[in-house]
Chain A
């Protein structure tokens, strides 16, 4: 149950697009279309932004999109806004019926 690999930080200017990667193995990310992405502000509970690789829950702006290729999933945020500055975590179902999270990525809006 090793954590998925995410960059520690990414940054972008308002209006730009950024992509956060999430690398796992064939036992998790690569083996199932059960990758989720969460947004978390400091001292707050996480919020689901993407589920099943590409799906957005109701209320999540369509500026947020997800994709996957092989063992790597990605979250793209287009039209970056100041309110997007937060931590982002990926997660995946695994072959042992458990879940594994990524280490988290801090997004800074310049």
Chain B
């Protein structure tokens, strides 16, 4: 059974940093692209970033480019999202999600980690 478990969420001040982790199990982690998607309170889904297979290819939403870094450790079956220069508008539940293959459709999702940026 596929499982994705996020951790590392919390409260951080504007301008601060935070690192999210997503522990994966139940599938061959290195064979799939992995994404981060966020959802601000009461709002819709917003795609954040993807890291493909060995992590060499990474792409970001314009809203986080230059501030967030996605990475993966295939030896630990873990996906990361390092977030810097956080803003109030980054407040959201952050989901990690597994790609079905290479078509940007997401077939398994974690339960989400809440990040609150507030002074």
**A-to-B contact residues, CB < 8 Å:** 1, 3, 34, 36, 38, 40, 45-48, 51-52, 57, 87, 89, 91-93, 96-104
- Check A48/B44 contact, CB under 8 A, given A1-B61, A98-B60: no
Q: Are B50 and A99 in contact (CB under 8 A)?
A: yes
26 contacts between A and B (CB under 8 A): A1-B61, A34-B103, A34-B105, A36-B104, A40-B45, A45-B110, A45-B111, A46-B37, A46-B45, A47-B109, A51-B103, A51-B107, A57-B100, A89-B44, A91-B45, A91-B47, A91-B105, A96-B59, A98-B47, A98-B59, A99-B50, A99-B104, A100-B47, A101-B37, A101-B44, A104-B44
A3 to chain B, nearest CB (A): 7
Main secondary structure of the interface of A (DSSP, over half): strand
Residues of chain B from 20 to 73 with CB closer than 8 A to chain A in the complex: 35, 37, 44-47, 50, 57, 59-63
**B-to-A contact residues, CB < 8 Å:** 35, 37, 44-47, 50, 57, 59-63, 95, 100, 103-107, 109-112
Bound complex: CA A51 to CA B47 (Å): 16
* Chain A residue with the shortest CB-CB distance to B52: A97
- Check A89/B100 contact, CB under 8 A, given A45-B95, A48-B105: no
